[in-house]
Amino acid sequence: MNQTQPFTETIFDSAPIKAAIRRGRGTILLVEDETYLREVTCESLESAGYRVLKTRNAAEAINAFRQYKTIVKLLLTDVVLPGQNGRDLANDLRSVCPKLRIIFTSGYPVVLMLATLLAITSRA
């Protein structure tokens, strides 16, 4: 390496790496009640190429889904939400669109999250 020229190549400069980084496409319904997390997640997904419908709770998510159900490909929802929880929301939306893909998120520790999901399941 030449001492007079700074090293500016990054791992993303090689053709195989660039080819492996694919842009996202499609619409994601994001449900997150924490403003900061909702905004950061939305910004990250949009910068990756996705269209994001941001909602704060299950009621907003249901309204957005009704309006855009033909283009929503993924539900990304927090498990613990004010009002209706993320699991019940996912079940409601899946009853309308059985092929809807779902990712659950949570800021809670895994053990507490499993206990919450079990409690939710036992009530169903």
Binned at pLDDT 50, 70 and 90, residue 106 comes out as: confident
The pLDDT-based confidence of 119 (bands split at 50, 70, 90) is low
Query: Taking the chain, what is the end-to-end CA distance rounded to the nearest angstrom?
Result: 64
Classify 20-123 by CATH class. alpha beta
CA distance 63 to 84: 14
Instruction: Give the separation between CA 33 and CA 42, rounded to whole angstroms.
Output: 13
The model's pTM is 0.74
The predicted-structure confidence for 31-82, as pLDDT tens digits, reads as follows: 999 999 999 999 999 999 999 999 999 999 999 999 999 999 999 999 989 9
Q: With the CA atoms of 32, 96, 50 and 81 taken in that order, what torsion angle do they form, in degrees rounded to the nearest 10?
A: 0
Give CA separation, 113 vs 56, 101, 120, in Å: 20, 20, 10
